[in-house]
Chains A and B, each alone.
Chain A
Amino acid sequence: MARPAKTVAGISVAVAVALSLTACGGGSGAQQSADAKQTLTVWGMGEEAKRLAEVAKDFEKDNPNVTVKVTPIGWDVVGQKMTAAAAAGKLPDMAQMGSTMMGQYIALDVLEPVNTKTFKKSDFFPATWNSNVVDGTAYGVPWYADVRGLYYRTDLAKKAGVDKAPVTWADHHALAEAYRKNGAQWGTALQPGNTGAWQSWLQFLYSEGGSLTDADGKAALDSPEAVKAFETWGGYFKDGLAKKNFVPGADVAKTFAKGEEPTFMSGPWMVQNLNEQQPQLKGKWKTAPLPAGPKGSVSWVGGSSLVTFRDSEHKAAAEKFTQYLTTPETQAAWYGATKSLPAAKAAYDLPEIKDSAEADSLKVFRAALDTGKEIPALEKWNEIAAAIEGTLEKIAQGGDPAAEAKKLQATTEGLISR
C-alpha cells in the first residue's frame, strides 16, 4: 500500500543522480559511424517489444556490425521510466513513442530532430507525421498508426429496418435508437468517463470542424464546434442509448456479440479479435467509416513513432534501423504480425495487406487515415486528457455541455501555453 511513497522516493533519487551527473557531463560524446561495431539500445512498449526484437534479428543479418538490444517497457509505466531515465541521463539510443507522449519529450528537449533528407513527410499519412511536429521541426518518424472506425451489427440493424451503414452522427444516433427499440440493452457503446474516454469524443470534435487548439496554439475547448461535439456526444447518454457508468475492464467484443451494445468505435485490431474470439458472429457485422459531421468523417489519428534521443552516440545506426522499420516491406510484414496499421502509405499496395483476410475493413481504416487529424504534440497532454475526461463524465451524467465546456476551457487554457 505504500507504493507512492516509494516511487516518490525513487524519482527523488533519480533527480539527485541527475544533479550529480549533469555536473560531470552526460552530453553526447563522439558519434559512431554506421558501419562501426556497436550496440544499439531500443526501448519498445509492451507486446510490441517482443515482436520488435524478432524484426531486429532480420536487421542484424543485413547489418552484422550492429547488435540491436530491445528492452520491453510496459505501457503503464513507460511515462515514469522514460522521465526518470531522462532525469538520470540514462536514455537508450532509440525508442518507440506513443503519439500522445511526443509533446512531453519534445518539451524536455531530449529528442533528436528527424533527418528530413532520409525521411520524407510525403511517404507517410499526414496526421501521423504532424503529431510529431513542434514549431515546424519533426522529432519522430511515424511507425504505425491508430485510427477509429465504426463497427456495427448488420443482422440486428436489418431487424430494426436499417440496411445501410450510418453516414452522419444523426444517422448513427437513429440507428442506436432503432437497436434499442428492437430489444438491445443499449444503442451503442461509448466510454462515459475515466482514463481514455477522450478517445470516444475527439472524433465528434474533429468531424464538427473543431480542434484542441486554435490557430494561435491556444486552447479552443469552448468553441461553438466543441460545444456542439459535447452535445452530440452527450445526446447518446441523455436518450438512454449508452451506458452512463464506466465499467473497468469491460470487454466490448462480448457485449457486441451478445447484442447488448450493437455498435462501437474502435481500432483495426478489433477485426481480428472479433474473428477469433466471436467466430459465431461471422457475417453479422461490418466496419464502416466513422459517422460524419459538417466536416466529413474525421477520426483522430494516434499510433507510435520511432524517436532517437539527443544524447545517443549511435545516431547513424539508429537512422538506419528506423529506415529499415519504415520501409513498406517491413511495415506490411509488421501488419501481418501485429495488425497495427502501417504508417507508410506504400505498404498498402503490397500483397500482405491487399490480400489479407481483413482487406475489406482495411480499406475503411486506410481511408480514415487519409482524412484523419492528428492530436497535436502538447507538453501537458496527460493533464489535458484528464480534464477532458472529467468534463465528459459530467456531461454523461447530465451536465450542461456549454457550461462544462466553459469550465474545461478555463482549466486547459493554463495547460496549453506557448
Chain B
Amino acid sequence: MKTAATRAGAGPDRAPAQAGGPPGQQAPTGPELRPDRLSRQNLAGWLYSTPFLALFLTFMAFPIIATLLMSFTDFGLRNVTHPLDANFVGLDNYTALFDDPKFMKALFNTCYFVVLGVPLTIGSGLVAAVLLNSGIDRFRTFFRVGFYVPVVTAIVAVAVIWRFVLDPSEGLIAGLGSQLGFSTPDFLASKALAMPSLIVMAVWRNMGTAMVLFLAGLQAIPVEVREAAKLDGAGAFQEFRRITVPLLRPTMLYVAVMTTIGFLNVFEEPFVMTDGGPGDSTLTVSLHMYKEGFSFFHMGSASAMAYVLFTIVLAVTLLQFRLLKDKTR
C-alpha cells in the first residue's frame, strides 16, 4: 500500500507533464503516433504474440468467461447437448451455496487444511533448506533429491505408499505400534484423524518445493552480511532470526503465496485417499466442486463454487502480499 500511496502522491506533479495537458497541445503528436503503431516492427510483434494470444484466448480467457456466465445459469445435465436451453438464474447459485451445509463444511475443511498445512510446509521446507545449506556437507545431493522426490512422484504412487503407511491392520505405523506394544487408530476412517493425516501427507509432498526455493534464496544472501553478524557476536540462532529470515523475505513471499494457492485448491489428496469421507470430514471445496460438476453435472452450481474459491484465493494472496512485503528496501 505504501508504494501505491507514494505513486499516487507523485501523481499530481508528474501527470500533467505526461498526458494531462490541454488537448490542443497534444494534437500535433497524435497523427505522428498513428503510422508508428502500425509500423513493420509492431506488426512483427503482433505476429510473434499471435500463438500465445490464440492459445490464451481459446484455453484460458474463453473458459474463464464461460464459467463465469455459467455460474449465473441453472446449467445441468440436459444442457450438455442443448447448452442454449440453460436459464439465467441471477445470483441464485451463489446464495444457494451459502445455505448448503455441505459446501460450508467443505469450506471449513479447506481452511483447516490451509491453516495447518501451509505453515508446516513452509516451516519444514525452511528447516530442511537451512540444514542442507550449512549443516550437512556429506550426502547433500542425496538429501536434496530425497526431499524433492515426493514432489515429482505421481499422486497414484504416493497414494499407494500412504495407504500402506496408514493401513490399520498391516501398515507401517500400525506395525511399528504393535512392535512397541501400543494400538494405533484407523487414521483414514476416523473423522477426527482423517484430515490431519492428509495434512501430513500434503506437507510431505510439498515441502520439497519450498526447500528448493529456500535453498536458492539462501544462496543469494551475501556471505559478508553473515560474517559481519558473526563478528558482532551473533550465535547460530540469532543469525538465523536476524539475518537469514529477514533476507529471505522475498523468497518467503513467493513460497507462501504459491503454497497457499496450492493448498486452497487441494483436491488430489482427498480424491485418492478418502473420497471426501468419512462423513464429509475431508471434503474440500475443489473436491465438492468436482463431484457436483462431473458426477452430478450441476455445472451452474459448480461454476459458482469455482468463483467463490477464486475470490478467496485472490483475497488471501493480496493479504499475503501486504503482510510479507519486502521491508528491507
State in angstroms the CA–CA spacing of A379 and B265 once bound together: 30
Task: Return the contact of B62 from the options A12, A18, A248 (Cβ within 8 A).
Answer: A12
B329 at the interface (CB under 8 A from A): no
Task: Tell me which residues across on chain B come within 8 A of A278, comparing CB atoms.
Answer: none
Chain A residue numbers with a CB within 8 Å of B294 are 7, 11, 79-80
A377 to chain B, nearest CB (A): 14
Q: Report if A29 contacts B (CB, 8 A).
A: no
Q: Roughly how many angstroms separate A3 CA and B296 CA in the complex, as a whole number?
A: 17
Please classify the interface of chain B as helix (H, G, I), strand (E, B), loop, or mixed, using the class held by over half of its residues. helix
Q: Which among B287, B295, B303 is the interface contact of A8 at CB below 8 angstroms? A: B303
Cβ B80 vs Cβ A383 within 8 A = no
Docked-complex contact B80 and A3, CB < 8 angstroms? no
List the B side residues contacting A269 at CB < 8 Å.
Answer: none
Q: Mark B60-74, 1 if CB is under 8 A from A, else 0.
A: 101110110010000
In the complex, which of the residues A13, A246, A380 contacts B296, with contact meaning CB atoms closer than 8 Å?
A: A380
The distance in angstroms between the C-alpha atoms of A246 and B274, with both chains bound, is 9
- Residues of A with C-beta under 8 A to B267: 1-4
A393 interface residue (CB < 8 Å to B): yes
Is B268 interfacial (CB-CB < 8 Å)? yes
Give the chain A neighbours of B273 by CB distance below 8 A: 248
B185 CB to nearest A CB, Å: 10
Whether a CB of chain B sits under 8 angstroms from the CB of A193 is yes
Contact-residue size bin, chain A (C-beta under 8 Å from the other chain): 35 or more
Residues A86 and B80 in contact, CB atoms below 8 Å apart: yes
A374 to B138, CA, bound (A): 66
Q: What residues of chain B lie closer than 8 Å to A8, measured between beta carbons?
A: 63, 67, 289, 293, 302-303, 306
B39 at the interface (CB under 8 A from A): no
**Does A109 sit at the interface, judged by CB under 8 A?**
yes
Contact B277 A11 (CB under 8 A): no
Contact (Cβ within 8 A) B293 A109: no
Interface centre among A8, A79, A108, A393 (most CB of B within 10 A): A8
B275 touches which of A2, A195, A394 (Cβ 8 Å): A195
Interface residue ranges of A156-186 to B (CB < 8 Å):
none
Chain B interface size band reads 35 or more
Distance of A8 Cα from B60 Cα, bound (Å): 11
Q: How far is the CB of B188 from chain A (nearest CB, A)?
A: 6
Task: Evaluate contact between A108 and B80: CB separation under 8 angstroms.
Answer: yes
Closest to B102 in A: A390
- A residues within 8 A CB of B296? 380, 382-383, 386
A322-355 vs B, Cβ < 8 Å mask (1 yes, 0 no): 0000000000000000000000000000000000
Across the interface, do A380 and B306 meet the contact criterion of CB distance under 8 Å?
no
CA distance A19 to B63 in the complex (A): 13
**Contact check: which of A9, A15, A394 meets B80 at CB < 8 Å?**
A15
Most buried by A among B189, B266, B273: B189
- Are B277 and A16 within 8 A (Cβ)? no
Would you give the shortest CB distance from A139 to chain B, in whole angstroms? 15
Asked if residues B189 and A12 are in contact (CB atoms below 8 Å), the reply is no
Q: Does A83 contact B (CB under 8 A)?
A: yes
A192 to B6, CA, bound (A): 62
Contact A108 B265 (CB under 8 A): no
A322 to B41, CA, bound (A): 62
Min CB distance, A243 to chain B, in Å? 8
Does B229 touch A at the CB level, under 8 Å? no
Contact B189 A245 (CB under 8 A): yes
Q: Binary interface profile of A, 88-114, with partner B (CB < 8 Å = 1, else 0)?
A: 000000000000000010011110000
- Chain B minimum-CB-distance residue to A258: B169
Determine whether B83 belongs to the interface, using a CB cutoff of 8 Å to chain A: yes
B208 to A: closest C-beta gap in Å: 14
Rounded to whole Å, the gap between the CB of B141 and the closest CB of chain A is 27
**Is B196 engaged at the interface, CB distance under 8 Å to the other chain?**
no
Nearest neighbor of A10 in chain B, beta-carbon distance: B63
Judge whether A397 is part of the interface by a CB distance below 8 angstroms: yes
Complex Cα distance, B187 from A248, in Å, reads: 11
Q: Are B63 and A13 in contact (CB under 8 A)?
A: yes
Quick check: B265 and A194 within 8 Å, CB to CB? no
A3 touches B63 (CB 8 A): no
Which residues 243-281 of B sit at the A interface, judged by CB distance below 8 A? 262-263, 265-268, 273-275, 277-279
The smallest C-beta distance from B85 to any residue of chain A, in angstroms, reads: 11
In the complex the two chains form, is A107's CB within 8 Å of B78's CB? yes
Instruction: Kindly state whether residue B186 has any CB partner on chain A within 8 Å.
Output: yes
Seed contacts A3-B290, A9-B63, A12-B62; 20 additional CB < 8 Å A-B pairs: A1-B266, A3-B267, A4-B265, A4-B286, A4-B290, A8-B63, A9-B60, A11-B293, A16-B62, A16-B63, A79-B294, A83-B297, A87-B81, A108-B80, A194-B278, A245-B189, A245-B190, A379-B77, A386-B295, A397-B279
Sort A-B residue pairs by CB-CB distance and give the 6 closest, nearest first. A245-B189, A9-B63, A12-B63, A12-B66, A4-B286, A87-B80
Instruction: Jot down 11 A-B pairs with beta carbons below 8 A, ordered by A.
Output: A1-B263, A1-B267, A3-B267, A5-B265, A7-B290, A13-B59, A13-B62, A108-B80, A193-B279, A246-B189, A379-B77
* Residues of A in contact with B (beta carbons under 8 Å apart): 1-5, 7-13, 15-16, 18-19, 79-80, 83, 86-87, 104, 107-110, 193-195, 245-249, 379-380, 382-383, 386, 393-394, 397
